[in-house]
Structure 1
Amino acid sequence: MNLFNEFGISFEYPADWELSKEVDETNGEIQVGVSGEDSSFWLISLFFVEIPAEELLEQSVKVFRDEYSELDIYEVKTTLAGKECQGCDIEFVCSELINSAYLRVFKTELFTAFVLYQGTDQDLKTTLKDLESISTSLACFDNDFEGYLNIV
């Protein structure tokens, strides 16, 4: 397992997965993602501008509704990084394959976090455990990240 520890968050991810990160100082957003060799990926977006968690989740679901004609959406309440979060699980068809996407949103003192992990149902047979382990390992350090001041 590899450890990512930047921007006030940390998480563990499989050693053979690829890490990507992007900082958008204009919009006050940081994205960090990891992906496997198949269709599966895990992504966290940190928003350092004021955005209600409910609104972020609604906007994200709207993107899926606009993109895919048939969706099954299941509301979820859970915790990530010790924070209560709202979310939903979405099933949709893309390129004749059934896909599942897991959306989670929570707020900290410094940012609103949006977590998305997804893959085809075929790939998720082997990667869902990894994706959920990444989410379970997620930690936030609200008072231990000074770099965000350069973003907002």
Structure 2
Amino acid sequence: MNLFQEYGISFEYPDDWELSKEVNETKGEIQVSVSGGDSSFWMISLFLAEISAEELLDRALEVFQDEYEELDIYKKNVKLAGKDCLGRDIEFVCSELINSAFLRTFEAELFTAFVLYQGTDQDLQRSLKDLEAISESLDCFDSDFDDYLKIV
């Protein structure tokens, strides 16, 4: 397993997955994602601007609703990084394939986090355990933001 540890967060991800990160200083957003060799990916976005977890989740749902005609949405309340999360599990059809997306939002001391992981149902048969393990390994360090504060 590889370890990502920057911007006040850490998580583990499989050795053969690819990591990418993007910092948008003008929008105050940091995005880190990992992906396997198929349609599956896991992503976390950190929002420095004041936005509630609920508003962030609502905006994400609007994007899915605008993009796909039929969605099955299931409410989920879970914990990530020891914090209570608002969440939705979504099922939708894209390119004639059934897809599932898992949306989670939570508030930390200096940011609001949005976690999204998804894939086709066929690919998720192989990758869902990895995606959930990444989420379970997520940790936040509210008191250790030296790298994180450099972009503010």
Q: Same fold (TM over 0.5)?
A: yes
Counterpart in the other structure of 2:103: 103
Deviations 1:49-104 (A, max 9, x none): 10011000000000000000010000100000000000100000000000000000
Paired AA for residue 59 in structure 1: R
TM-score by length of 1: 0.98
User: What residue in structure 1 maps to residue 151 of structure 2?
Assistant: 151
| 1:127 positional shift | 0.2
Please give the residue correspondences for 1:31-70 in structure 2 after superposition, counting only pairs within 5 Å. 31-70=31-70
Which residue of 2 is the match for residue 84 of structure 1? 84
1:17 matched to 2:17? The reply is yes
On the 8 A contact 1:29/1:151 being kept in 2, the answer is: no
1:131 match: secondary structure? helix
d(CA) in 1 for partners of 2:147, 2:9: 12
Question: Number of paired residues?
Answer: 152
Deviation at 1:133, TM superposition (A): 0.1
The question of 1:129 aligning with 2:129 is answered yes
Q: Is contact 2:105–2:115 with CA below 8 Å preserved after alignment?
A: yes
Contact 2:7 2:148 in 1 (8 A): yes
Unaligned runs of 5+ in 1: none
Q: Give the Cα–Cα distance (whole angstroms) in 2 for the partners of residues 151 and 42 of structure 1.
A: 23
Percent of aligned pairs sharing the same letter:
74
What is the TM-score with the length of structure 2 in the denominator? 0.98
CA contact (8 A) 2:6 2:148 kept: no
Quote the Cα distance in structure 1 between the aligned partners of 2:132 and 2:141.
Answer: 20
Question: Equivalents in 2 of 1:147, 1:6: separation in Å?
Answer: 7
* Stretches (4+) displaced over 6 A: none
Note if contact 2:6-2:147 (Cα within 8 Å) is conserved in structure 1.
Answer: no
The residue type equivalent to 2:81 in the other structure is A
- Code of the residue aligned with 2:99 in structure 1: it is N
